Structure 1
């Protein structure tokens, strides 16, 4: 049995590594070719021109490349002439409001910025203007603060750009730049911990943990405490593995976020097979290891310590389709920070998820709230197999949405072969050789890829999202609701069925003329991933409600929606 479980986990990992839709890379192409983004050099993205005007003021005109912007608050000016420092009044033009992942609510300039600088006194002789600015690209790159200087001959009115010495550039770096990344760390650690706690209640995790918790009621005290900490270590270390993979992939140029592995049909099918195997074990049809949720025992030589550890690891695997409240903000922050800070946030997320089980292992009061062990536990074990079967069925549907109905049918056939392999293995003897051959056939069936489905037609009144579509709607005075979703996101599907696709909300959208846009992240899409990163998010769901006014920043709705929340947000929309 140990060999079969290891093979299942290996299969899930290898098919994911093969890439989305099981497609092989083209000869000579980069494995990251679809994720690469070409950015302009900073001197081409933002081109300033300075002129001395007749009345003695300075006009600084910025030409900004399309899809790039400059921060209003990052402008700084220092003017000197032959008599010394000259105070200067910077008259900045109106700017667009937006929510930025680095600075929060900010004002930015697109296309151009026309700035008038008014010296406190007339300039004398040769003057020097030092300018500091900072800009970003919509596609996700932020340039470091940039320092430039201009020499102004007040006698002739000529202006020339000059180079700044390197020490001066370093000295002019904003004092808060080094600490700005860390100033939100305590809050993000708290958000991550709360998100981890709530993750235990999500539908993809709770059934898996329930019997492990009940097992604590009858375990010996020393074993119970030891298993609680081993479970916690499995959770935390698994989150750190996920964090390391995310950080490494993003560093290599790939646009990925929480749940990225579910964008690969191979991983989805492997996870579905795992749920099928667990369900068969709970039903008593096959036996994987000893007690339920000591699935890790099949990876260990004896005892239950390793099983407790791998239970924690398995809990993280099955949690991947879910995003809890507070979690999206914390993970978005983590993936924009240095690796040490990112790992600290993921550690807090794991600690939050592990905390209830660790507490249960140590608290007699908490254990008294659990029912007494008895024969009913066997019936509950069998009943909990059905949510696992339902989850597997849903995962097969996700694979079909990603890679076509033929892929889904082949994967279901592979699940049948997997069940046969597990049954053959449990009978022992020579049949175990047949079980291994059957398992190979199941893996082959799960590796089959049919023709990917075309783009599905959206519901009435729903269109595909793009930033251009948002700007177009706002320009004509239409509010916009954007739903960032995926077929593998359980939280997204629950919000859509219970709130967004109800008659009440659809009528409210129609009454207020709200344009409903869907950003479907079921398969990998670097454009969506880049936008999420700019919103400070690494995963979904994300719900944005834009007022019907050009350039107006969106309202961010909670990850768990209620009808009342959406209706209140609609009522609060300003008139266009």
Structure 2
């Protein structure tokens, strides 16, 4: 059996492709909570002295919000970092009017629905657009915190090309609406006898007196937004009154005040329109005592911090390298790698008498594994440095990648079962080339082994990979290389030790039987991959993939025929496959809604902050970080985590059981894994109030879990 190199190359491309596009700039970034888009408005073109605007538009899912320049009692304002051509300078965000968002006993300032954060660009005389390019690249890196009951930090990199010599006004309506929503500056008082607007310090309160508000605002109850954070008690009620045309208010100062601005920039609003003023502060700001009274909100936050366990203790570089080597060695025992090993077993047996060829093949396989692990590690490190929240096995979080791997393994299984030989499908020149280059075959078999092994996390691997993410590039890649060396080590040793070659059975008819037997683990892998797609894209996605695999099998069978039927049936099969792929492709690639745990069930879904809430209530917590594409996770779930004695111990010790499902990309789960010093699943953690989290083994045993539970 000559394993075709184009299939293994396709496997490597699958590993590298899904997030390669994510590293490139784009105008739109979509998460489960926010759709962010970079917009531009240059109605008179890019010319010095002419108005040019860019802005980040955030469209929030219902009940989610992001924050104003002063976020209030919690939260963080959206931050924009621009990369612009020479001669183009970005100004500050022209913040639209926010709304007050109560959160329990706290209050925040932010935005719901859709908001555009416009930024003015100044075109200076130094701006010289390229004559050849004609377009100007505007690049943005944005960070925002989006909150509902929980808060999730998100980010995105954007790129927009503006024509240098023509106008851009497609989004003029959105910018006009943002300009209309921006607070307007209050005019200065007219005449020397009219007192200035001011804020007077009176004990632990601010007494405001604001002049020159427009006529339509007079007599209305106004909202008050200080632009400086941590000056007032944001959630506290305050009194206000009108004295003719003058608006007055008395607002409590924050007991934890961290700023004493003078003048004090504020925004007043009547619900639809806002006005900005800088109030002169009269009197001295009160001193904040070192032992000031702690507000209830801060007190709750401090209790939460005290209850938050510290991360797992760090490991050394040497320990990480040894752990990676041992983890790679144990990867060969993981069920996800087993199907590919059949290829190596048959190959070793066929060439048992060729010592030189055996050794060269072992080196080539090792090189394929090492290159693939280092390339995959470099991609993960590069994308994380660019702001992507990624972990080990990230490529299988894409349904398209899982579906393509299912197609690849279907072809391998059909070949092992004897349905076809690659030489019968390929042109004779290609088939001959294939037979003449077994070294390339061995190298690409190593590539395929890594593609299949990447979703698995063996013992010792987790801590090493988590440690690698925080290291400088060369040291991190050394750990990935050690992982690859460990995985290839058994085959490298077998190819160079004559005793191993002599111990192998002689080639014979049994090899053909063994080869066909190995088709069934391959088909089992396909069944698992279809199930994974079902978890990601729903039952319709799994059904569509099954239909495509049947059509692919028909294509392979048709081209094994002879004579005219080969062309006729082959063309028909290809047409069926193409129509099916075109009509069902969206069902496979789209992400279905995440399933929710049944109300009142033993296992509840993990979400940010949930562990802290349970610990604060005095309840210990067990978290299962898992994914549908992780075979080890599923094995542990069906065995140890379903064991009656284990579940009985959880119940008797009043454990809360949370399941963090990482089947789809989830930045919050990625961040939680990073805090634990891990970069992939499975991860099993026991949390207790005031103590370090206990991270258990990747391959769980009943005794290990029960011992950890009963240490409470």
**TM-score when scaled to structure 2?**
0.57
Contact kept? 1:213, 1:360, Cα under 8 Å: no
For residue 289 of structure 1, report the CA deviation from its aligned partner: 5.0
> Is 1:448 aligned with 2:586?
yes
Partner of 2:330: 198
Partner of 1:83: none
Partner of 2:513: 379
Q: Sort the Cα spacing of 1:11 and 1:351 in 2 relative to 1 into closer, same or farther, 3 A.
A: closer
- Which of 212, 218, 233 is the matching residue for 2:344? 212
Contact kept? 2:327, 2:459, Cα under 8 Å: yes
Partner of 1:406: 540
Q: How many residues align?
A: 449
Partner of 1:427: 561
Per-residue CA distance 1:307-331 (angstroms, 9 max, x = gap)? 1110000000111221100111111
For residue 66 of structure 1, report the CA deviation from its aligned partner: 8.2
For residue 260 of structure 1, report the CA deviation from its aligned partner: 0.5
Q: Sort the Cα spacing of 1:257 and 1:377 in 2 relative to 1 into closer, same or farther, 3 A.
A: same
Q: Sort the Cα spacing of 1:249 and 1:381 in 2 relative to 1 into closer, same or farther, 3 A.
A: same
Partner of 2:309: 98
Per-residue CA distance 1:431-483 (angstroms, 9 max, x = gap)? 66666555545654663226724523348221111342222222222111111
> Is 1:559 aligned with 2:559?
no
Separation of aligned partners in 1, 2:488 and 2:10: 25
> Is 1:258 aligned with 2:392?
yes
Partner of 2:265: none
Separation of aligned partners in 2, 1:62 and 1:236: 59
Separation of aligned partners in 1, 2:15 and 2:477: 24
Q: Sort the Cα spacing of 1:469 and 1:512 in 2 relative to 1 into closer, same or farther, 3 A.
A: same
Contact kept? 1:400, 1:407, Cα under 8 Å: yes
Q: Sort the Cα spacing of 1:451 and 1:282 in 2 relative to 1 into closer, same or farther, 3 A.
A: same
Contact kept? 1:487, 1:493, Cα under 8 Å: yes
Q: Give the number of the structure whose alpha-carbon radius of gyration is greater.
A: 2
Partner of 2:482: 348
For residue 487 of structure 1, report the CA deviation from its aligned partner: 0.8
Contact kept? 2:9, 2:444, Cα under 8 Å: no
- Which of 575, 583, 597 is the matching residue for 1:457? 597
Q: Sort the Cα spacing of 1:8 and 1:245 in 2 relative to 1 into closer, same or farther, 3 A.
A: closer
The residue matched to 1:216 in structure 2 has which SS? helix
Contact kept? 2:16, 2:379, Cα under 8 Å: no
For residue 424 of structure 1, report the CA deviation from its aligned partner: 2.6
Q: Sort the Cα spacing of 1:531 and 1:24 in 2 relative to 1 into closer, same or farther, 3 A.
A: closer
The answer to which of 296-305 and 314-323 deviates more is 296-305
For residue 63 of structure 1, report the CA deviation from its aligned partner: 10
The answer to which of 368-377 and 228-237 deviates more is 368-377
For residue 354 of structure 1, report the CA deviation from its aligned partner: 0.7
Separation of aligned partners in 2, 1:330 and 1:289: 42
**TM-score when scaled to structure 1?**
0.69
The residue matched to 2:422 in structure 1 has which SS? coil
Q: Sort the Cα spacing of 1:366 and 1:66 in 2 relative to 1 into closer, same or farther, 3 A.
A: farther
Separation of aligned partners in 1, 2:612 and 2:631: 29
Separation of aligned partners in 1, 2:556 and 2:607: 47
Separation of aligned partners in 1, 2:484 and 2:583: 34
Per-residue CA distance 1:369-392 (angstroms, 9 max, x = gap)? 333322112111111111111111
- Which of 595, 604, 619 is the matching residue for 1:478? 619
Contact kept? 1:48, 1:61, Cα under 8 Å: no
Partner of 2:470: 336
Partner of 1:368: 502
The residue matched to 1:371 in structure 2 has which SS? coil
Partner of 1:503: 644
The residue matched to 1:518 in structure 2 has which SS? strand
Per-residue CA distance 1:177-220 (angstroms, 9 max, x = gap)? xxxxxx81111111000010000111111231134134223411
For residue 262 of structure 1, report the CA deviation from its aligned partner: 0.7
Q: Sort the Cα spacing of 1:446 and 1:204 in 2 relative to 1 into closer, same or farther, 3 A.
A: farther
Separation of aligned partners in 1, 2:141 and 2:545: 26
For residue 59 of structure 1, report the CA deviation from its aligned partner: 6.1
The residue matched to 1:545 in structure 2 has which SS? strand
Per-residue CA distance 1:295-316 (angstroms, 9 max, x = gap)? x989958431211110000000
Contact kept? 1:4, 1:436, Cα under 8 Å: no
Partner of 2:177: none
Separation of aligned partners in 2, 1:522 and 1:390: 20
For residue 495 of structure 1, report the CA deviation from its aligned partner: 0.5
Partner of 2:69: none
Contact kept? 2:16, 2:376, Cα under 8 Å: no
Separation of aligned partners in 1, 2:432 and 2:642: 44
> Is 1:270 aligned with 2:404?
yes
Matches within 5 A, 1:462-541: 462-541=603-682
Separation of aligned partners in 1, 2:9 and 2:478: 32
What RMSD, in angstroms, separates the aligned Cα atoms of the two structures?
3.9
Structure 1 unaligned runs (5+)? Answer: 50-57, 71-93, 105-182, 291-295
> Is 1:288 aligned with 2:422?
yes
Matches within 5 A, 1:1-80: 5=7, 9=11, 28=37, 37=154
The answer to which of 526-535 and 216-225 deviates more is 216-225
The residue matched to 2:319 in structure 1 has which SS? helix
For residue 60 of structure 1, report the CA deviation from its aligned partner: 9.5
Q: Sort the Cα spacing of 1:15 and 1:287 in 2 relative to 1 into closer, same or farther, 3 A.
A: farther
For residue 249 of structure 1, report the CA deviation from its aligned partner: 1.0
Contact kept? 2:413, 2:523, Cα under 8 Å: yes
For residue 489 of structure 1, report the CA deviation from its aligned partner: 0.8
Contact kept? 1:474, 1:480, Cα under 8 Å: yes
Per-residue CA distance 1:118-177 (angstroms, 9 max, x = gap)? xxxxxxxxxxxxxxxxxxxxxxxxxxxxxxxxxxxxxxxxxxxxxxxxxxxxxxxxxxxx
Q: Sort the Cα spacing of 1:552 and 1:395 in 2 relative to 1 into closer, same or farther, 3 A.
A: same
Per-residue CA distance 1:532-555 (angstroms, 9 max, x = gap)? 1111111011111122x3x33221
Separation of aligned partners in 2, 1:95 and 1:451: 38
For residue 38 of structure 1, report the CA deviation from its aligned partner: 7.0
Contact kept? 1:281, 1:287, Cα under 8 Å: yes
- Which of 436, 447, 454 is the matching residue for 1:320? 454
Contact kept? 1:288, 1:298, Cα under 8 Å: no
Per-residue CA distance 1:491-533 (angstroms, 9 max, x = gap)? 1110011110122211111111111011111111000001111
The answer to which of 392-401 and 456-465 deviates more is 456-465
